[in-house]
């Protein structure tokens, strides 16, 4: 059901500044986009099969703003990819794993996403995601 690590989400204070670091490493940044529902600005940086997802808060009540306030910049979540998100969520829930999102929501990059509650995961925020049709 879960196929691979899809991306690693990293909370940053300033996306433009953070992006410069990745450019210095020789990596290419895909288009930035704003995800209104999560109050974040997102940049994806492909690295082999995995992408780095940089997240900057667009408002003070964004989950990313709260995360940075508490813990500072750094790894925010790890996303596991599946090609069928809804059945995967049902399976996960049937194992008594607590979900933050029982119903998928729309994430960046044409993805349907849902988070598992860190209470159930020994401290890691895991996102489950399904890529919808690829943008070209």
Residues 95-114 that bind Zn ion (CB under 5 A): none
Write the binding mask 52 to 71 for Zn ion: x where contact by CB under 5 A, - elsewhere.
-x------------------
The neighbouring-strand residues paired with 113 are 105, 129
Among 79, 92, 114, 125, binds Zn ion (CB under 5 A): 79
Question: Residue 81 interacts with Zn ion (CB under 5 A)?
Answer: no
Nearer to Zn ion, 50 or 97 (CB): 50
CA angle, 131 as apex, 125 and 135 as ends, to 5°? 130
Among 56, 112, 127, 130, binds Zn ion (CB under 5 A): 127
Interface stretch with Zn ion, choices 28-36, 72-80, 98-106, 118-126 (CB under 5 A): 72-80
Q: Which two tokens stand for residue 60?
A: 């003070």
Among 8, 9, 44, 125, binds Zn ion (CB under 5 A): 9
Interface stretch with Zn ion, choices 22-30, 31-39, 80-88, 119-127 (CB under 5 A): 119-127
The neighbouring-strand residues paired with 47 are 50
**What's the rounded Cα separation, in Å, for the pair 110 and 85?**
13
What is the side-by-side order of every strand in the sheet holding 105-106?
32-35, 40-47, 50-57, 2-11, 74-82, 126-131, 111-116, 105-106
Which residues in this chain contact Zn ion in the complex, by CB under 5 A? 9, 53, 79, 127
């Amino acid at each position: 059901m879960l196929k691979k690590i899809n991306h690693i989400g990293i909370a940053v204070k300033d996306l433009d500044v953070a992006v410069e670091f990745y450019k210095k490493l020789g990596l290419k940044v895909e288009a930035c986009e704003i995800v209104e529902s999560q109050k974040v600005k997102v940049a994806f940086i492909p690295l082999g099969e995995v992408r780095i997802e940089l997240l900057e808060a667009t408002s003070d009540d964004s989950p990313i703003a709260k995360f940075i306030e508490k813990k500072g910049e750094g790894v925010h979540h790890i996303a596991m990819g599946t090609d069928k998100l809804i059945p995967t969520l049902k399976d996960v829930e049937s194992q008594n794993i607590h979900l933050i999102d029982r119903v998928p929501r729309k994430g960046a990059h044409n993805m349907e996403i849902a988070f598992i509650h860190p209470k159930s995961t020994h401290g890691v925020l895991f996102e489950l995601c399904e890529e919808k049709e690829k943008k070209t």
